Chain A
């Protein structure tokens, strides 16, 4: 449903407090905002979304800017 993206660009953005995810194409920005705030317990400032060329039709990519100095903890995804 939601998958963090690790690329050179996403790492650079991460240092600026912006986190990149691939998620369901049907989700709207308010839905994404609600989901992220609820899941990570943070406040979202802005959301930018776009579709990559040749991306699966069911997905889109979102860059989420958090309010203030907040950071995201991905530990929920740790499989170990």
Chain B
């Protein structure tokens, strides 16, 4: 019933001022009508209204005819003030006039007209704004309009700062209620927005003079040694476990033990030793003196001994601490490794007929893998060096984004390995866990963020650009791969990703060529 009021007034000009105005007709009836109904709208707004569109008015008006980024900036932020905040963010005010508001209303009305099923109207038909509003719900409707206003204005809000604003870091600081109120009453308003800004890059020392120290341990091992290591590893995996009788524990045995561990200084539990009996592989033990003490025990034997935790232990909180172990050996299993026969060769590599052939195959593969490992090691070293060379405060949003990305990657890896149920994955995506992970790995993420900024800066300073052909080639090959895998690729997103990757690659190559590289 209430929506009929707006319709009637629109159709015949009945003097009933609708609460929100008659939609598209509003714009066409020119700003005059709007202003008559809204005496509180200031005169300066009139100059920015649709009536003035395309006329020789102020610069802000002209830009509606031929919008350029700078002109739009003038329109949205006429005072041109960008405030730099203490936390590395910037803040500005965006002015929303009647023209922008009308555009947003029209866009939302058009969207709902084309997508909403309204009884009595065909899709895409001329549904009055009031009918749309009553169907969608007032709150939802105005929030949609507000969203549209942001969509059309946020990009230009920081136009003065160029590309230095980090994507998706904008925060609208003006309360939503205030803005919705202004939309409902069709009053021009300002909203305040802040965003993270890419800091000015300073270098501790000239980047061209960096010394890149590459850790060569991952690719310096002789191939033959590596092959034997792989074969030995596989033998161990395939080994039979037989119960060892009448002897002490020996290194290489698999034992079933019960153990407890407490800190010597305060007697509190340490190292999260499992309760009850658990399997313990003496071959991979990295605790000093632990296996040595086990070696004194037979089945049923118990021992108490102290261990000083190594300084490179994974858990930082116990490094260098004295802890007391109490261990009981329940079972000892010895490994019976399979013989290196031709049959075993086919187990390592299917279709291999002899160990010789198997070794050759592994050698070949290791050579390829080594090249990759070398490249990876160089990339890691370059990343670290650039990060150390750059002197900036990293924006928090960058750290968080990198952290989230890494967390997502790790979760996906675990999921792909089938180690977690979908329920568990769901639990692991909680905001608190992600935040904890980011806090724990903050140093790494800050390093990556610094390196990323440094790489972009080097690319800019050295004018390293990816050719369009190279980009297209790479894009086509990846698109084909994705299509073959039955996925529907988002061309623009992939293109951007490939561009960033290729640009980073160019920078890495440049650094490798122009800086001193040491293999350690």
Contact B128 A6 (CB under 8 A): yes
Contact A80 B19 (CB under 8 A): yes
Residue from the list B1, B8, B119, B120 in contact with A72, Cβ < 8 A: B8
Residue from the list B4, B19, B125 in contact with A8, Cβ < 8 A: B125
Given A8-B121, A10-B120, A11-B126: A73 and B2 within 8 A (CB)? no
Asked if B433 is at the interface (CB within 8 A of a chain A CB), the reply is no
Q: Which residues of B contact A80 (CB under 8 A)?
A: 2, 19
Residue from the list B14, B120, B128 in contact with A73, Cβ < 8 A: B14
Residue from the list A3, A9, A14, A73 in contact with B1, Cβ < 8 A: A3
Contact A78 B120 (CB under 8 A): no
**Total contacting residues, chain A, CB less than 8 A:** 21
- Interface majority SS (helix, strand, loop, mixed), chain B: loop
Interface size class of B (residues with CB under 8 A): 20 to 34
Give the distance in Å from the alpha carbon of A10 to the alpha carbon of B128 in the complex: 12
| A71 to B, closest residue via Cβ | B12
Contact B126 A6 (CB under 8 A): no
| A70 to B, closest residue via Cβ | B12
| B2 to A, closest residue via Cβ | A78
Chain B, 120-141, contact with A by CB distance < 8 Å: what is the 0/1 string?
A: 1110011010010000000000
Contact A73 B5 (CB under 8 A): yes
Give the distance in Å from the alpha carbon of A7 to the alpha carbon of B119 in the complex: 7
Given A71-B11, A74-B8: A6 and B3 within 8 A (CB)? yes
| Distance from B345 Cβ to chain A, minimum over Cβ atoms (Å) | 79
| Distance from B6 Cβ to chain A, minimum over Cβ atoms (Å) | 9
| Distance from B419 Cβ to chain A, minimum over Cβ atoms (Å) | 58
Q: Which residues of A contact B7 (CB under 8 A)?
A: 6, 11, 14, 74
Give the distance in Å from the alpha carbon of A14 to the alpha carbon of B5 in the complex: 12
Q: Which residues in B have some Cβ–Cβ distance to A below 8 Å?
A: 1-5, 7-9, 11-14, 16, 19, 119-122, 125-126, 128, 131
8 A-B pairs closest in CB distance: A7-B120, A77-B1, A71-B12, A74-B4, A4-B4, A78-B2, A14-B11, A74-B5
28 contacts between A and B (CB under 8 A): A4-B1, A5-B120, A6-B131, A7-B120, A8-B122, A8-B125, A9-B120, A10-B120, A11-B11, A14-B8, A14-B12, A71-B8, A71-B11, A71-B13, A71-B14, A72-B8, A72-B14, A73-B5, A73-B8, A73-B9, A74-B1, A75-B16, A77-B2, A78-B2, A78-B5, A79-B1, A79-B2, A80-B19
